[in-house]
Amino acid sequence: MNQIGSKVAKGAVWMIGLKFVERGIGFVSTLILARLLLPADFGLVAMAMAVFAFVEVAGSFGFDLALIRNQKADRAQYDSAWTLQVGYAVLAGAALAALAVPTASFFSDPRLQGVMLVLAAVALAQGFENIGIVDFRKDFQYGRDFQLMLLKKLISFAVTMALAYQFRSYWALLGGIVASRVMGVVLSYTMHPYRPRFDVSQIRSLMGFSQWIVLTRVIAYFGNRGPDFVLGRLLDAGSLGLFRVAREVATLPTSELLFPIMRAVFPGYAAVAHDRKALARSFLQVQGAIVMLTLPAGAAILMLADPIVRLLLGPNWLAAIPLIQIFGLYGAVSVFQATNVSVFHVLGVPRHGAMLKAVEVLLVLPLMMWVLTQGYGLQGAAWCVFAAQGIIVPASMMLLARHLGIGWADRLRVTWRPLLGTAALLLSLYGVMRATGPAHNAFEATWQLGLALPAAAMSFVACVWLLWLLAGKPAGAEEQVIDLIRRRLGRSSAVPADVPAPTLTTKP
């Protein structure tokens, strides 16, 4: 049990490290692209990707989760999963090609025909990705997973930057997508020795688990991409570009940190799923670590939206500032239920995740259409997304409580220190913003951020550290950070041999 937890913790560090590197690359990419391209370029690609994502998500059978969850999966199951993957890729490529003209007609932009044909080729190619790379996570080989994802990101960055500088058009964004997906296929075979074969013998057993995964992801697609259709149809490409970029920037702390953490902890959840008490302990520790990492970062983006936009995106994106603030609130709320779906999966009740997503979609899309037709604009649309999340979060918590016996007091016990630390962070940022006044250009924004970010970090760390000491140094994220620092400094020998290192899963 403790060994599994140690591997999960190590994997989480690998994945978080990857995301920090990716975000560093993304920071440079955003800084350059926002000045070389226009919001309409981002909006046009978002229109095409809305259709592409639907076709893609309809084939997201979750075979990787099924193979990870099944500790005894054999070659027949791996090959059957790959066969289904390839078969769907052929159908997806044909469907996207057939949708080229209807998509251009729906969004009233003929340029989308060529974009859709390129994406059709991408869908076909990526279906041949080597299924063997699932073992990177299943066997806790997170370093290999790190390497694969990082190489894809670097290749995509290089291609996007070169095309953007040369052509100054939406084709740069599309070229980066093509490079990432195609090279992902090539790298999957160069980095893993497994060579899949066509096999259909285990299709029924795989689909039995995957049907709920597919349904959940399709519904999640409508929650994530449904607004693109509504905005693209009722407004224009520029408005859609503002909405998408604002949501991406505001939710970076949640989406970019939650994804690597959950990618790492899912195998650990699967390993202890037979023991509800151990799973509950593991979940609570992960929840505490996630809130500790993501909540202060989300709060900082909420408060610093203005200088962030002026520095990173430039004057063409000032209309995104209030949207980033609204989505910052959305991200802060979502961290309290983001890990629940993974627990539903390992417990064999993925229908709960599907149901929650369905409710969210049924709330967001009709409300958004009404808000836009009433003239409330992009800010009204953003508030619709936030309002739906405010309903889904408590509902998700109650469902999880039924399965693991986790109550509100249990969650508060692992999150109260980062909650109070975030309050201290907000107060410090408010003081800095009042003292410096509004920024009017990139130089003033740089100065403001240079003062605000260190103040925010110090206030959060100092508050959480003091509260941890006053609470008697309970087990939690703080102890994990200390252990990681000791290991990096080569002082792990200071920990007595008979005391296990703190991990994301507790020893029973």
Give pLDDT tens digits for 417-429.
999 999 999 999 9
| 506 domain residue, yes or no | no
Domains: count for the chain: 1
Structural domain range at position 157: 2-494
Asked if 425 and 456 touch (Cβ cutoff 8 Å), the reply is yes
Closest CA to 247 of 226, 217, 224, 222: 224
pLDDT, position 133? 86
Provide the greatest CA pair distance for the chain.
Answer: 68
Q: From residue 196, how far is each of 76, 128, 319, 447 by CA, in Å?
A: 10, 9, 49, 54
Q: How far apart are CA 168 and CA 109, in angstroms?
A: 18
Q: At CA 457, angle to CA 286 and CA 332, rounded to 5?
A: 50
Interval 82-122: pLDDT, tens: 998 899 899 999 999 999 999 999 888 899 999 999 999 99
Which tokens go with 330?
A: 């959305």
Q: How far apart are CA 196 and CA 361, in angstroms?
A: 37
Interval 475-508: pLDDT, tens: 777 776 666 556 655 544 443 333 333 333 333 3
Closest CA to 343 of 389, 278, 394, 298: 278
Closest CA to 54 of 213, 221, 228: 221
Which tokens go with 107?
A: 């969004």
Which tokens go with 478?
A: 């703080």
Place of tokens 């709330």: 363
Which tokens go with 35?
A: 């000045």
| 505 domain residue, yes or no | no
Q: How far apart are CA 116 and CA 174, in angstroms?
A: 10
Q: At CA 349, angle to CA 348 and CA 353, rounded to 5?
A: 130
Which tokens go with 90?
A: 């052929």
| 502 domain residue, yes or no | no
The pTM of the full predicted model, rounded to 2 decimals, is 0.65
| 501 domain residue, yes or no | no
| 508 domain residue, yes or no | no
Interval 165-221: pLDDT, tens: 888 888 988 998 999 899 989 999 998 898 999 988 887 777 765 666 677 777 777
| 363 domain residue, yes or no | yes
| 111 domain residue, yes or no | yes
| 500 domain residue, yes or no | no
Interval 130-175: pLDDT, tens: 998 888 777 767 677 778 888 888 888 889 888 988 888 889 889 9
| Residue 501 DSSP code | P
